[in-house]
Amino acid sequence: MSKKISIIIPVYNCEKKIGRTLQAALKAADTYRKSGGEESDRYVEIILVDDGSTDNTKAEITKYPTVKYFSQKNAGPAAARNLGAQEARGEILFFTDADCLAHSDWLELIMPHFEKPGVAAVAGSYGIANPENRLSRSIYREIIYRHMLLMPEFPSYFGSFNFAIYREVFQKVGGFNPAYRNASGEDNDLSYKISSRGYKIYFAKDALVDHYHPQVLKDYLEQQYRHGYWRVQMYRDHPRMVKGDGYTFWKDIAETVLVLAFYFSFVAVFLGFFTLGACFLGLSVCALLGINIAFGIKICGDLKDGLYFSDVMILRAFSRANGFLAGCEIFFKKKTTQNIGSEYSATI
């Protein structure tokens, strides 16, 4: 007997994209059912949880009567996914995001890996839904670089944009932590809880969902600020992961250190330590330029695009570091965190 599947999608103010997302999910479900043959008992349901949208998202969803619709007051994507899991009938829960388009073979490529010994969750990778945009292409190329060259077969991390998990395991580890109010850090937290309990996560790099990667630099940098902000809580909850998780690596840590050194150089000059300040300033600027130009060209495979994306990565390093510093202040002072996000999006 086939295992029942539930596809869960959290959504907030995504009226322009949710139709295509649901069409792709419905096609993937139909493809999986048909691949089982005429006598197939394969069960697939699609659950969408509206996290208090204020646009016409609900009206768009009601155009698809087979989709199960639930709503809640705005509480963040982690809470929305937990509600979807609570309402799900499936033995295996699939998660993707409202700005992702599942490939038609998505379910077929992930399901067989649950037969592997000890595997409790299976993660997939990205495609790109907006390749015409230069920033989007560059972001996508970096993600693929990380996924294909850095991610091991059994990683300790997955992204909430594309993964599946046994419902029983999801419940045992407590699901997503709703304290992560934005779409940032909640997937790290869940994957670390799974791996720390001895369960295996398998990386199925050929199981794809296309994503609308950011097209506007300002939006992308704000997103990266949030990543830095919530990383403070993530490291506080999982201190062993400060060294990296197979997706993040030495470059991410080094960039934050170099940005802090850049800021320190001005403090040193202000205090009268001109030579020390000049040394820190020169070192941080040269290192940031050298690292990111080298990686930009390597990732993009083209000098012009590589130089463009190296600038983006340098700005991103400052955004992440600024978010990290803001997060330190908030969490160390134990203040109430605020929701600084907008619509849900899956990005690095």
To the question of pTM greater than 0.85 for the whole model, the response is yes
Nearest to 41 by CA among 87, 68, 67, 3: 3
Q: What integer pLDDT is reported at residue 344 of this predicted model?
A: 54
- Among 91-100, 109-118, 243-252, 261-270, where is mean pLDDT lowest? 243-252
User: Is pLDDT above 60 for 340?
Assistant: no
Q: What integer pLDDT is reported at residue 287 of this predicted model?
A: 97
Q: What integer pLDDT is reported at residue 92 of this predicted model?
A: 98
d(CA 321, CA 163): 28
Contact 6, 45 (CB under 8 A): yes
* pLDDT (mean) for 36-47: 84
Band of residue 240 on the pLDDT scale cut at 50, 70, 90: confident
User: Is pLDDT above 50 for 337?
Assistant: no
d(CA 344, CA 188): 16
User: Is pLDDT above 90 for 121?
Assistant: yes
d(CA 137, CA 161): 18
Band of residue 76 on the pLDDT scale cut at 50, 70, 90: very high
**Most trustworthy range by pLDDT among 36-40, 228-232, 306-310, 323-327:** 306-310
Q: What integer pLDDT is reported at residue 338 of this predicted model?
A: 43
Phi-psi region of 174 (alpha: psi -120 to 50; beta: other; left: phi over 0): left
Nearest to 164 by CA among 197, 190, 128, 185: 190
* pLDDT (mean) for 114-119: 96
Share above pLDDT 70 across residues of the chain, in percent, rounded to a whole number: 93
* pLDDT (mean) for 4-17: 96
Q: What integer pLDDT is reported at residue 232 of this predicted model?
A: 87
* pLDDT (mean) for 248-271: 93
Mean pLDDT over each residue of the chain, to the nearest integer = 91
End-to-end CA gap in the chain: 37
Q: What integer pLDDT is reported at residue 249 of this predicted model?
A: 84
Three-class DSSP category at 225: helix
- What's 328-345 look like in SS3? HHHHHCCCCCCCCCCCCC
Band of residue 334 on the pLDDT scale cut at 50, 70, 90: low
Q: 5-216, superfamily in CATH?
A: Spore Coat Polysaccharide Biosynthesis Protein SpsA; Chain A (3.90.550.10)
Q: What integer pLDDT is reported at residue 40 of this predicted model?
A: 75
Domain residue ranges in the chain: 5-216
Share above pLDDT 90 across residues of the chain, in percent, rounded to a whole number: 79
Nearest to 98 by CA among 148, 46, 136, 134: 46
* pLDDT (mean) for 213-238: 92
- Among 19-33, 169-183, 208-222, 327-341, where is mean pLDDT lowest? 327-341
